[in-house]
Chains A and B, each alone.
Chain A
């Protein structure tokens, strides 16, 4: 059986690797860090890709064609009558600072149409009901809650310029109704997400600020209708008091990703550099190891080991450390990913949520085997071409 045959050679392989323990351990550490970097970069790339893939094509994002100010909330009804539109929801951002002026806070108020227009928001049916019955309530994502160290029942304040409220004040009080998951891909553009009830803003803001929203979210019946519905929306509102601009959410996410630093390409480039480092280090290590032990291989050839068996031994010698390093590297990458996520929560860096991915583990393993294979080629050529007599004689 092949498995048993492989295990038969393991003591030989192990003895070869372990003959210089210090150097073996140092090589393993260097390889493991290379694999940790590679896995982390794959996970980072996947997080950025997911931030685009998670934005759906059948969700439309509608803003003013010409910037500045808001758009009438009453547009909802007109939009709902367009063929292909299944739901419309309004959203409005209110920005200010918390008790400490240096801490910015941004609340996204949404209306009752949003559960249908943007069902990907991480609120359950019960959460929506809670928001409806407690208009001054807010939901914070894990990231937003962790940054402010708040839990359910706490009060969060948002201070704006005096006179921004109908009562003449500038402080808004919110009760935390719950902590919800961070939407995938959200962190790339805004560090955290706080969701409130638009009705609360409508009832508490100055009269001249009411009945306006910053943007509308529209859900369409089929993704392939998205562009046509967008064109129709823009056409109908060309001569309106506030002309509209419409873009499918996925295209919007892709355009934003391309307008910013392209972390998708960068992460792949760094991952490739990490692999190149590993390959060069290990190919050299293997070549050196085989060169120092040529006489051992000559003896093995003399006692009847064929080229295929020697190839298997050399490949195992190359693969055991790389696979071990890949396993350690993946474990280290989990730590690195958790650390990067922590930095994101603290606001040091702004990236989409990263997760340890099974796919990244598989890629690391495949890369380990490929590096082992490439590293074994040159030493094997040397073994196959050696003059056994000369090597045994020490010439």
Chain B
């Protein structure tokens, strides 16, 4: 048998198999709904990790780096002393603004006292310096005005404002008194929108802190990073750690997303196992129901392989339909929905999740179709016709 005729046979057998689905729509629907449940749960859960990652990590930020005091394992340690900042800004590879000043900014991070009804650490404050806005060209004050350096006033991200009921004129209690919110801002929909932003020097004076948390640096391009890192980490005058901003954000985010991703894959795996047994059962019953049909195909010369492949294709098709339905439902219900996990972000059912869902369903349904397909292939034509 030539390859072409084998393909024709598979196509013809599949058409017969899929055509007969009309008479077996109930059982076919079980596979579709079952896979839709599996893929729906998987993609819904992963839409959270996808959304969180998008809020924290911007892939275009590979040409930015974060420098913090060596030994500090988290970025709020504020142990980067003032005398180190000048040395860090001298590092090779830092981009320069039109006025020739380095595009790098020493930042201060702190947690604002707990707002009643919200957990401690819920609201964070980021103190930025003169280069802070230049480093973030997408930063937009959408209401009110920006803060004036030296004044005890703050900007609130739109996410923080919504979550904590802050508006223009609201007061935030800090060690040196109540600081007013003078403006609301947006920033690419990123996690910074869940924070308050103010002048680093003014905040540090009020809180009697001397150390910065980190320096954020814009590099000339992503390729200069190794040189930049080597210069800083080998400099005997400094004791700092350096990371690309994307790697830094991913590391901080890791424990939250890893836990949920582990749970999603574990649960998706358990559900897929249940669906797998369901598919074997349904496809087994389908082969039983189609015994006469299969016998006829074999009697007129269709090969065992063609019949087996047609059964596998039917299972795969139903699985993919289920995956499309499950992802569509997850997209309708969850995509774009606002959530708060230590910051505001939107759930995202991305194309990547659609592809993952289809792969998940395809593998499950093809595995579920193997045993019935082999059974169909082994049906001798004479016996199949007699049994029918």
Contacts and interface: CB of A to CB of B under 8 A. Distances in A.
Interface in B17-34: 26-27, 29-30, 33-34
Interface in B247-266: 255-256, 259-260, 262-263, 266
19 contacts: A22-B284, A27-B277, A67-B111, A68-B110, A68-B207, A68-B209, A245-B114, A255-B118, A258-B119, A270-B41, A270-B267, A273-B41, A274-B37, A277-B271, A277-B275, A280-B29, A284-B26, A288-B27, A336-B270
Contact of B281 (A23, A68, A336, A350): A23
B113 A66 contact: yes
Nearest to A259: B119
Contacts of B274: 29-31, 33-34, 37, 274, 277-278
Nearest to B209: A68
Given A37-B267, A349-B262, A23 B119 contact: no
A82 interface: no
A161 B37 CA distance: 51
A30 B275 contact: yes
Nearest to A281: B278
Contacts of A149: none
A63 B34 contact: no
Contacts of A40: 270
Contacts of B209: 68
A245 B71 CA distance: 29
Given A33-B274, A245-B120, 4 more contacts: A30-B276, A161-B71, A256-B119, A280-B33
Interface of A: 20, 22-23, 26-27, 29-31, 33-34, 36-37, 40, 63, 65-68, 161, 245, 247, 252, 255-256, 258-261, 263, 266, 269-270, 273-274, 276-278, 280-281, 284-285, 287-288, 336, 340, 343, 348-351
Q: 5 smallest A-B Cβ distances: which pairs?
A: A33-B274, A26-B281, A255-B119, A30-B277, A259-B119
B26 A33 contact: no
Contacts of B118: 255, 259
Interface string B272-310: 011111101100110010000000000000000000000
A323 B271 CA distance: 19
Taking chain A's interface residues, is the majority helix, strand, or loop, or is none over half, making it mixed? helix
A260 B342 contact: yes
A372 B31 CA distance: 20
Interface in B205-225: 207, 209
B40 interface: yes
Contacts of B276: 30
Contacts of A34: 274
Nearest to A276: B37
A276 B30 CA distance: 11
Contacts of B110: 67-68
Nearest to B27: A284
Contacts of B270: 33, 36-37, 40, 336
A26 B114 CA distance: 54
Contact of A280 (B34, B119, B175, B288): B34
Given A66-B174, A277-B271, A288 B278 contact: no
